[in-house]
Amino acid sequence: MDILLASGSPRRQELLSSAQLDLTIMSVDIDETPYDNESPKDYILRMIAAKADAAIAQLNLDYQCNSSQLSKPITPFIILTADTIGVLPDGKTVLVKPADRAHAYSMWRQMSDNTHQVWTAVQATLVALLPAKPTTDADKQLSNEPLKVVWQKQIIESTDVTFIPLTQDMMSDYWDSDEPADKAGGYAIQGLAAAWVTSINGSYTNVVGLPLAQTLALIDEATKSHNIYGL
C-alpha cells in the first residue's frame, strides 16, 4: 500500500527507508505553538492530527484541481504523521525546537545531569476516494468528491534519556555547530550530542525522531484495516 509521509524530517525518511518502504514525501506547515496550560500529551497528539488534516486538505485541493496529473498516490493510501518533543521530569515542561541560543541553553541547563523523556507521537490515517453511485450504466468513474478518512490511529512512544553535567563551553560549542537548530530539545542523539548521553531506556529510534518498530506495526494495522474495508 502507498504511504505518504507528511513530514520534511530527513531522519524520519531515512528510518522508514531503512525498512524498505516506498514513500511519497509531503511537507506540511502548521502552527506548532503550544496552547497555554496544554499538557505534553494533548500538545503532541494535536500536532500529529493537525499535520494529517493539513496533508488531506492539500491532497483534496490537488485532486480537485489537477486530478489527471497527480504525482502523489490517489487511493487507498496511508498518511503518516509524527511529532517529537522532550519532556522534563516534572511531566509538564515541553522541550521543543529552540527558538534561539538563549532558549537552547535554558533547555540544556534543565536537562544537564538529569533524566528527561523523549516522546514521539505517530498517527496513521487510511484515506480513500469512495466511489459515487453511477447515474447511468456507462458512468463508472469515481466522482470528484474529496478524499475520505476511513481509519485512523495514534500512538505515543516514550524513551528516558540521561545527560552528563553540561558546562557552558559544551553548550556554546554545540550551538555553534548548527546541529541543534531543528531538533526537539535542541539536540541530536545520532550526532554530536551522543557525547552528552550516559544512558537511554527505551527505543533509540524514538529519540532520533520515529519509533521504527512501533511505527511499522501501526502501518501493518492500517493495512489490515484496508483489507477489512475492502477498499
The residues assigned a catalytic role are 83
Cis previous bond, 34, omega within 30: no
> Do the beta carbons of residue 127 and residue 77 sit within 8 Å?
yes
Question: In the chain, count of helices (H) and strands (E)?
Answer: 6, 7
Enumerate the β-bridge partners of residue 115. Answer: 162
Q: Give the three-state DSSP class for 184.
A: helix
The burial class, CB within 10 Å (0-12 / 13-18 / 19+), for 58 is: middle
**H/E segment holding residue 14:** helix 10-18
